[in-house]
């Protein structure tokens, strides 16, 4: 690119809007959290699966709720063979393709978990990115709602495994069949033509899903003629009559003090709808199965306001909501909200095979959950950096490399300072910037005497916090001279006293 006078312009060092970078500590914390999550998945018998980030548009299907974006919310392009490709928007659609492709070689039911980034061509906003991580677990090939109950129980175990205390979260359950029953009651769904009026149902679905953000009045406007937001943008409504909108609102507010009362309220709302009654029966069965496993009202609740935004769900849907308060950018208290969700999608594999294959699963929003742990103070602390071996004499680089080799062989992270060694103070500043626990120092004098100096870089803060007397200060010197052949043992001991 050339400027006004023909000179090439440097590219702007900034990521595209809606994307972000993750630096060292964030990556390490995320990895530690994912290890805990996947340990729970594996304890439940799920196996890992990795799929390509790129799928054909045909294989992905059009299930995203943000239908006004280009390419129905995905990042897509036409390949040189004229096929349309796209970055995956979740990890479930690729699973359906994998199961259909390898079904003769896979066990049935097939239980898998997957971790990785996904991409959505959505309008970015605060905390809403176009690329984010998911961590899924799914069971393909079982029609029983026992699989849904298992997913909900596992989701509860995942949250507690990563450090969310019981009482600070709730797994909320609903059923798309119940919602279809409500749609049938208000005239937007028919078993004779289930695909008719899909656009109006989609508007209703998205309106319910925005309850937390818009409130009842905002949802009611979207159920009717439409809604204009603060910026003046108008969103088309579903065009329901006031009476029909009242039925949908009553469905959203059908949660009662206990599961039995909620079930009774839902039965009343879907009276006359076969699919609605079937959905209520399934909710009742899942509630009983959860109770049998010891998951009570402190961890699990029936909540008709849960609908999930993706269009492929066919039965039970669930979300994990964090119930503790955090502060927004303006210091206002608000609940953190949903960090995971999923549901049953019995028709997704059918797109490939022509035969219905029941499936259910959950997806953890990795970035949101990690942000919640940090906000709650339950996240992993910043891990210590490597031991830094300083360079006092460039000609002795081989000696310094031998030191780090010994430390690494012993399982201790270590590196030689490879910047400009002229200013020794800069070497220690570098070690501080790396959160290094220990610096190793060996000049020509130390080498001649067969010793090295090791410096505890974290001692100052630790002493200030925990030590009050001079004797205690003297008992833990910040720098000590040790025999060269005791390097590994003494460095390990210095790191241990910092833990």
Per-residue pLDDT band for 211 (boundaries 50, 70, 90) equals confident
User: For position 95, what pLDDT does the model report?
Assistant: 95
Question: What integer pLDDT is reported at residue 357 of this predicted model?
Answer: 93
Question: What's the pLDDT tens digit per position in 234-286?
Answer: 889 999 999 999 999 999 899 998 889 999 999 999 999 999 999 999 999 99
pLDDT band at residue 181 under the 50/70/90 scheme: very high
Confidence of residue 79 (pLDDT cuts 50, 70, 90): confident
pLDDT score recorded for residue 1: 54
User: Using one digit for the tens of pLDDT, what is the confidence trace for 154-179?
Assistant: 999 999 999 999 999 999 999 999 99
**Tokens, residue 75:** 């990042």
pLDDT at site 415? 95
pLDDT of amino acid 461: 55
Query: Between these two residues, 83 and 412, which has the higher pLDDT value?
Result: 412
* Cβ–Cβ under 8 Å, residues 221 and 229: no
Residue 110 pLDDT > 80, yes or no?
Answer: yes
The pLDDT value recorded for residue 472 is: 47
Query: Which of 190, 200, 195 lies closest to 223, judged by CA?
Result: 200
pLDDT at 380: 55
Assess contact for 87 and 53: CB atoms under 8 A: yes
- Six token digits for residue 10: 């440097």
Closest CA to 340 of 154, 66, 177, 176: 154
pLDDT computed for residue 96 by the predictor: 92
Peptide bond into 198 cis (omega under 30): no
CA distance 281 to 279: 5
Of residues 369 and 309, the one with the higher pLDDT is: 369
pLDDT band at 474 (very low <50, low <70, confident <90, very high): very low
Cα separation, 207 vs 221, in Å, equals: 9
414 has pLDDT over 90: yes
Query: Could you give all domains of the chain from N- to C-terminal order, each with its CATH number?
Result: 24-179+274-376 (3.30.930.10), 387-498 (3.40.50.800)
In this structure, the chain runs to a length of 499
Lowest mean pLDDT among 6-20, 57-71, 384-398: 57-71
Question: Encoding tokens for residue 207?
Answer: 């309106």
pLDDT tier at 466, thresholds 50, 70, 90:
low
Q: What is the mean pLDDT of residues 73-98?
A: 90
On the question of pLDDT at 469 being above 90, the answer is no
**Longest CA span, the chain:** 93
pLDDT for 26? 85
129: pLDDT confidence band, cut at 50, 70 and 90?
A: confident
Query: From CA 221, how far away is CA 217, in angstroms rounded?
Result: 6
Are the CB atoms for 348 and 359 separated by under 8 Å? Answer: yes
pLDDT 10s digits, 365-398? 999 899 888 877 765 556 788 999 999 999 999 9
Per the prediction, the chain carries an average pLDDT of 88
> Looking at 198-202, 436-440, 456-460, which range is the least confident one?
456-460
* 322-342: average pLDDT: 78
Q: Is the pLDDT of residue 359 over 80?
A: yes
Q: How confident is the model at residue 422, as a pLDDT? A: 86
Tell me what percent of the residues of the chain surpass a pLDDT of 70. Answer: 90
Residue 200 or 62, more confident: 200
- Contact between 415 and 364 under an 8 Å Cβ cutoff? The reply is no
Q: How confident is the model at residue 446 (pLDDT cuts 50, 70, 90)?
A: very high
User: Residue 144 and residue 360: Cα distance in Å, rounded?
Assistant: 10
Q: Which of 477, 484, 474 is nearest to 389 (CA)?
A: 484
pLDDT at residue 333, rounded to an integer: 67
Predicted pLDDT at 493: 92
Q: What is the mean pLDDT of residues 295-305?
A: 92
How many CB atoms are closer than 10 A to CB 400? 22
Residue 206 has pLDDT above 90, yes or no: no
Beta strands 359-365 and 131-140, pairing class: antiparallel
**CA triple 409-413-417, angle to 5 deg:** 110
């Amino acid at each position: 690119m050339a400027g006004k006078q023909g000179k090439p312009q440097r590219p702007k060092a900034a990521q595209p809007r809606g994307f972000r970078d993750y630096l060292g500590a964030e990556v390490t914390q995320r990895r530690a959290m994912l290890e805990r999550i996947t340990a729970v998945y594996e304890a439940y018998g799920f196996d890992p699966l990795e799929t390509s980030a790129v799928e054909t548009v045909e294989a992905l299907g059009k299930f995203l709720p943000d239908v006004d974006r280009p390419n129905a919310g995905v990042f897509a392009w036409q390949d040189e063979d004229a096929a349309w490709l796209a970055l995956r928007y979740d990890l479930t659609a690729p699973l359906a393709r994998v199961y259909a492709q390898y079904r003769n070689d896979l066990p049935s039911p097939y239980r898998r978990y997957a971790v990785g980034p996904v991409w959505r061509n959505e309008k970015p906003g605060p905390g809403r990115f176009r690329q984010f991580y998911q961590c899924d677990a799914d069971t393909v090939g079982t029609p029983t709602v026992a699989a849904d109950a298992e997913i909900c129980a596992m989701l509860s175990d995942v949250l507690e495994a990563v450090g969310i205390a019981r009482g600070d979260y709730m797994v909320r359950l609903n059923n798309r069949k119940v919602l279809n029953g409500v749609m049938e009651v208000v005239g937007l769904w028919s078993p004779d033509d289930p695909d008719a009026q899909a656009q109006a149902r989609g508007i209703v679905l998205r309106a319910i899903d925005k309850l937390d953000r818009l409130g009842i009045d905002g949802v009611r406007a979207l159920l009717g003629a439409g809604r204009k937001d603060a910026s003046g943008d108008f969103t088309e409504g579903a065009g329901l009559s006031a009476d029909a909108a009242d039925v949908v609102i009553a469905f959203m507010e059908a949660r009662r003090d206990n599961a039995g009362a909620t079930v009774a309220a839902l039965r009343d709302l879907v009276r006359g709808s076969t699919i609605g009654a079937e959905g209520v029966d399934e909710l009742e069965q899942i509630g009983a199965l959860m109770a049998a496993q010891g998951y009570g009202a402190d961890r699990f609740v029936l909540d008709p306001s849960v609908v999930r935004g993706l269009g492929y769900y066919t039965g039970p849907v669930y979300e994990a909501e964090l119930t503790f308060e955090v502060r927004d950018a303006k210091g206002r208290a608000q609940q953190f909200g949903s960090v995971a969700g999923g549901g049953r999608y019995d028709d997704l594999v059918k797109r490939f095979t022509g035969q219905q294959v029941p499936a259910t699963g959950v997806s953890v929003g990795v970035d949101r959950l990690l942000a919640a742990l940090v906000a709650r103070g339950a996240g992993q602390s910043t891990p210590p950096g490597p031991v830094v071996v300083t360079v006092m004499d460039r000609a002795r680089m081989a000696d310094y490399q031998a030191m780090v080799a010994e430390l690494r062989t012993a399982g201790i992270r270590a590196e030689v300072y490879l910047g400009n060694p002229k200013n020794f103070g800069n070497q220690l500043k570098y070690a501080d910037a790396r959160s290094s626990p220990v610096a190793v120092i060996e000049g020509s004098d130390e080498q001649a005497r067969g010793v090295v100096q090791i410096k505890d870089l974290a001692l100052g803060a630790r002493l200030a916090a925990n030590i009050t007397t001079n004797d205690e200060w003297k008992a833990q010197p910040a720098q000590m001279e040790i025999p060269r052949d005791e390097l590994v043992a003494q460095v390990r001991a210095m790191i241990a006293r910092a833990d």
